Amino acid sequence: MHEGTTACSSAVGGVAAQISLEVSCPGAVKPTEALDMTCKVSGASLTDSTNMYAVLWVRHAEGKHHEWLGVIRHNGVTTYAESLQGRITITRDTNKGEVYVKLTEVKPDESGTYYCAKHT
């Protein structure tokens, strides 16, 4: 099951989240710059496979289907969309309960709303 709440969008990206995932957005990002986003998780441990199996990232551009970007599992293993290999990194700080995504060399066609969601 995938869950998400409110979205935050910008010229190139934004983020949204759920369980009690608090989001931070960078605002507008220029092409070729890096996009950094954070999901702050409350109410569940990032290492708890029962309540928080994984945190995933999705992008939605107006008029297009949602695009899966990548995931970090409860054990720290990451998987990324093949189209973003070499440009995307998902990390976490389990002490802070935060999940981070960095997308480098952002392209104009990557504008949209970026979502962070839990996978249980």
Q: What are the extents of the domains in the chain?
A: 1-67
pLDDT on residue 10: 35
Average pLDDT score over the chain: 81
How far apart are the C-alpha atoms of 53 and 113, rounded to whole Å? 23
**Per-residue pLDDT tens digits for 15-57:** 344 456 666 777 778 888 898 999 888 888 899 888 788 999 9
The mean pLDDT of 70-99, rounded to a whole number, is 97
pLDDT on residue 20: 67
- Indicate if the alpha-carbon torsion angle 37, 41, 45, 48 is positive or negative: negative
How far apart are the C-alpha atoms of 6 and 2, rounded to whole Å? 14
pLDDT on residue 4: 34
pLDDT on residue 13: 32
